[in-house]
Amino acid sequence: MIRARAHGDLSENAEYHAAKERQGYIEGRIQELNGKLASANVIDVSKLSGDKIVFGATVSFVDVDTEEEKRYKIVGEDEADLEQNKISVNSPIARALIGKKEGDTLVIPIPKGSIEVEVLEVEFLV
């Protein structure tokens, strides 16, 4: 902003206005992240156990029709990364899996309709 201010009259200085807008965006993002940090709970996955699918679980399942196997870790929204097989706890797949156990069969809604899957394994990996 100092550099933008050096360009003279601020009322007609596009660089200054762009810098102010960017500053506002960054300050808003900082507030958003501070809010998330204030309400965050750390879940130690190594202390979780059981056969029920919950947040933090790594789940393997098979499509009953195609026999294609998938494996996903259920994580928070900010951690979700499909390339690393991490899906958001709020995704349709995770919402359908939560509460299920190994051996359960369920229908998962997907954009093309739905798929029937069987839960093969529930793990709590670090």
CATH of the domain at 106: 3.10.50.30
Q: Residue 55 corresponds to which tokens in the numbers above?
A: 């947040």
pTM value > 0.75? no
66 and 26 housed in the same domain: no
The total number of structural domains that make up the chain: 2
69 and 28 housed in the same domain: no
CB neighbour list of residue 3: distance below 8 Å, 6 or more residues apart: 15
CATH number reported for the structural domain that contains residue 19 in this entry: 1.10.287.180
What is the spatial order of strands in the sheet that 58-63 belongs to?
86-88, 69-75, 58-63, 113-123, 105-110
Domain containing residue 102: 45-123
Task: pLDDT band for 51, please (50, 70, 90 cuts).
Answer: confident
118 and 58 housed in the same domain: yes
105 and 73 housed in the same domain: yes
Mean pLDDT of the chain: 87
| Burial status of residue 16 (CB atoms within 10 A of its CB: 0-12, 13-18, 19 or more) | buried
Q: CA geometry: angle at 60 spanning 58 and 65, to 5°?
A: 150
Least confident among 2-11, 19-28, 72-81, 84-93: 2-11
